[in-house]
Structure 1
Amino acid sequence: MTRLFPPSSRLRAASFRLRAAETRFERSMTDLCRAALDHIDRQHLLGLALQRLVAQRAGPS
């Protein structure tokens, strides 16, 4: 679709700010996902360590 009027400088500035905000949002979501995955990894490693500790304390059955 062709534009009847060229975009105004205000519209271009608003569009730039919107794209920048979207980029910041995506970056923060990526950081949040990475932190969540790191947390899950730590919980998994903690669970494995606790299982080994319990198995060692239980001794041979």
Structure 2
Amino acid sequence: MQFLSQYQIHSTLHEGMETIIYRGKSPTHPETTVLKILKAEYPTLDAITRIEHESVVRQN
């Protein structure tokens, strides 16, 4: 089983050109979580801004 920060990764849902989407679980929450991670070791400001915008849109 893989770990990413405090998340236990259960599966890879999708792998694109710039991102990987995982299904995982946090030890502090019983629900399954979806994590979208940038693949680049040093992502561009544009890529970071796009991920932040997607996160805000999802929360609303």
Common fold: TM-score over 0.5: no
Which structure: greater helix fraction? 1
Taking CA–CA contacts closer than 8 Å with sequence separation of 6 or more, which of the two structures ends up with the larger relative contact order?
2
Higher share in strand: 2
TM-score normalised by the chain length of structure 1: 0.28
Normalised to the residue count of structure 2, the TM-score between the two structures is 0.28
